[in-house]
Structure 1
Amino acid sequence: MSRQRKDRGFTLVELLVVIAIIGVLVGLLLPAVQSAREAARRMQCTNNLKNLGLALHNYHDTYRRFPPRSNGTQTGPASNGGRRSGMIGMLPFLEQSAFFNRIEAGDAAAPPPHNTPGGTFPWTSTSITTMYVQRFPFLKCPSDPASPEQMAEARGVNNYAFCAGDTLISVGTTGSGMFYRFTAGPSVAIQEVADGTSNTIAMSERVAANFGPGQRPNADIREGTLGGVQLLGAGSPINCRSEAAAGSLGGRYLPSVTARVKGRFSYIWADGQVEAVGFNTVLPPNGPSCAQNNSAGADEQHVVLSASSYHTGGVNAVYVDGSVRFVSQNIDTGNAAVKPANQTTPSPYGVWGALGTRAAGEVANADL
């Protein structure tokens, strides 16, 4: 007489053990997956900066100078206020000649005086013209979650900024960086880069944001400018570091300083104002940014604007020679209690300051 076999299933204890093992494996694999995704995003960001570096050189080959960070017409009601970003001039060298020609021709659908050739004010309301709303993938770092929909008004978001060197103040015709002048003005030729093209930063990253004072409680330090900080005169850049530290917790500003914090970083690629498409090499990457005044717009002229990103530990930067390197947020920044030096003398802000100047005679350490 044959004996019937009875199949045995999992006991509750065995099932719980299997679930626990699977949970442990997922916990081990998830950080690796996230790390791989960030590595891919960082690589795409690097490629974006390489393309921007190539566009800068192609522009220079054509015009014998690099583009000014801000320029344009400045008189009359049809003026663009001298606030056309250098990004506009680079468009033909980024395979966007058609869009560049559209800006040059003017927005025929816009009412006067906003329909003039060369474009109107870059900050003109989108209800008047949509010329500057265009979004370009090569201007967006994939690690930055910001999108026009998250901002106060839909704009052409941009994560890449021109280097103003260790300059803090609105200057006339002199300054230390590749794109030194805070207001509209002249540009630099490659023969003026006496410190060496491989030792001088052309562009880096900025976290994008668009909000006015008091509009975003607990803003990330990387996306906001803390206003009302004495940077010049009786102050120095160290005040930015100390006041930001006192007014923040865990990398975010406290509600007590919300009324002093705004974000106008990279909210529109077409606006050449330094707070919109610039940074300086004073405080380290991912450090705080501060303004001596507390205006609502992007019109500050006495500022510390730190490079920033959502990459772990630092930012990507493209140098004048076209190479792209990652710069640690722990890079040497010298003495922030000292005011900026003259543009022809070494920067007081360590290796970071030296990488921002084009002709100050420093020998920057290649180990970043």
Structure 2
Amino acid sequence: MKRTASRARGFTLIELLVVIAIIAILIALLLPAVQQAREAARRTQCKNNLKQLGLALHNYHDVYNTFVYRKGGTAAPLGNSARNDGNYSRLSGMVPLLAYIDQAPYYNQIMAGDPSNTLNWNPVPAGGAAPWSGWPLWNRGQIEVFRCPTDPGINTARGINNYAFCVGDVYISNRDNNWANGLFAGCTQTNGNKHYGIRDCTDGTSNTIALSERVAANFNIGGKANADKREGVLMGVAGLATSPGACLAATSPLLAGNRYSNATQVKGKFSSIWMDGQSEAVAFMTVLGPNNVSCAVGTEAGADAVSPMLSASSHHAGGVHTLMADGAVRFVSDSIDTGNLGVMAVRDGKSPYGVWGGLGTRAGGETIGEF
């Protein structure tokens, strides 16, 4: 009796294609979940960074009974604006915070200056050189707590910073000294080292914004085609001196979705020089809501825009993380109430820019509910 040897049966082509199709479907189903999990982790880290900065602010306050300045430092030699051997009271508040975020050795180096390193034939004095100078100590690379991992970032030897000081509900910087009512307002070129503390937050520290997010960028006017509205500042908006609504009117015809498609006067410099206390480099205003456009009256190419209105921004969906003066971190929606954008800012009293404007003031007298 003959026996026929059985042969192992393999996959047919159709069966193989079915298996491949099933695997592809599973990947398609799982990939968004993986991406969402990664974004959730990045978003959590971004929130934790703000919590660390909030702790640093309060540790500084415990020592000095005030929060850091937005812009301050040491003065340059009188009558000589061409030299970089002083920092012109232009250091941002991120510099003194270094001592409270595990960067004390770096901070101490900055404060010591460098007698052996000359810029424009002058030794670097105690307190550090001007932020825009070529001082090698400014080029130390990325400080991780300054960076939100959701932001793809920019290439810079200084490292980037995604967190900005709240100036308040003022919308042009030449009113900072007399009009702005934010926790980090009142700093001008000749009036640096301005400090406010918990005692000045008469609206309540839980109702006063300290820091929020801004998208990093580093391009001059005309330097980037199709710039994202969150990273670009539209320059030369003269009507901004009358009302913040002029910014919306000027940007609307230039935008295709969230990008500038037909604009030659857009630049983005936030985060390109985090040690500089100028508003375009390290601040934001609570006028237009989060992830909205930003504008400026001036047309400067660098990071010194005259009279800007800078919006908080992020790469998170739907809003921005915001650090309150009490140290809590809240997620603020893009759709938060912004009141009447057709009127000028007020010097005293309640902000006309709704809940968002009210959160930006430290002593406006607003009653803030849930947001």
Bucket of the pairwise TM-score, normalised by the shorter protein: over 0.9
Q: Aligned-pair RMSD on alpha carbons?
A: 1.6
Contact conserved, 1:204 with 1:315, CA < 8 A, in 2? yes
Aligned positions of 1:342-353 closer than 5 A: 342=347, 344-353=348-357
User: In the TM superposition, what whole-angstrom CA distance separates every residue of 1:185-216 from its partner, at most 9, and x where no partner exists?
Assistant: 41112111011111111001111111110111
Note closer, same or farther for the CA distance 1:310–1:114 as it changes in structure 2 (3 Å cut): farther
| C-alpha distance in 2 between matches for 1:193 and 1:95 | 28
SS at match of 2:114: coil
Pair 1:339-2:347 in alignment: no
Residue from 195, 199, 208 that aligns with 1:200: 208
Contact conserved, 2:220 with 2:302, CA < 8 A, in 1? yes
Pair 1:251-2:258 in alignment: yes
Structure 1: any 5+ residue segments left out of the alignment? none
Note closer, same or farther for the CA distance 1:182–1:17 as it changes in structure 2 (3 Å cut): farther
Aligned to 1:34: 35
Aligned to 1:275: 280
| C-alpha distance in 2 between matches for 1:17 and 1:41 | 36
Pair 1:216-2:224 in alignment: yes
User: Given residue 129 of structure 2, which amino acid in structure 1 is its aligned partner?
Assistant: T
User: In the TM superposition, what whole-angstrom CA distance separates every residue of 1:142-172 from its partner, at most 9, and x where no partner exists?
Assistant: 11111325xxxx3231111100011123232
Contact conserved, 2:180 with 2:186, CA < 8 A, in 1? yes
Q: Normalized against structure 2, the TM-score is what? A: 0.92
User: Given residue 92 of structure 2, which amino acid in structure 1 is its aligned partner?
Assistant: S
Give 1:303 shift.
1.3
| C-alpha distance in 2 between matches for 1:38 and 1:57 | 29
Structure 2: any 5+ residue segments left out of the alignment? 78-82
SS at match of 1:204: strand
User: In the TM superposition, what whole-angstrom CA distance separates every residue of 1:49-78 from its partner, at most 9, and x where no partner exists?
Assistant: 001001111111111111110012234143
Residue from 179, 182, 188 that aligns with 2:196: 188
Aligned to 2:136: 130
Contact conserved, 1:230 with 1:236, CA < 8 A, in 2? no
User: In the TM superposition, what whole-angstrom CA distance separates every residue of 1:312-354 from its partner, at most 9, and x where no partner exists?
Assistant: 1111111000001111111111121111122x31111111111
| C-alpha distance in 1 between matches for 2:123 and 2:324 | 36
User: Given residue 251 of structure 1, which amino acid in structure 2 is its aligned partner?
Assistant: N
SS at match of 1:100: helix
| C-alpha distance in 1 between matches for 2:159 and 2:21 | 47
Give 1:109 shift.
4.5
Give 1:182 shift.
4.4
User: In the TM superposition, what whole-angstrom CA distance separates every residue of 1:14-69 from its partner, at most 9, and x where no partner exists?
Assistant: 22222111111111111100000011011111111001001111111111111110
Give 1:262 shift.
0.8
Contact conserved, 1:222 with 1:309, CA < 8 A, in 2? yes
Contact conserved, 1:132 with 1:268, CA < 8 A, in 2? no
Aligned positions of 1:231-246 closer than 5 A: 231-233=239-241, 235-246=242-253
User: Given residue 296 of structure 1, which amino acid in structure 2 is its aligned partner?
Assistant: A
Give 1:141 shift.
0.6
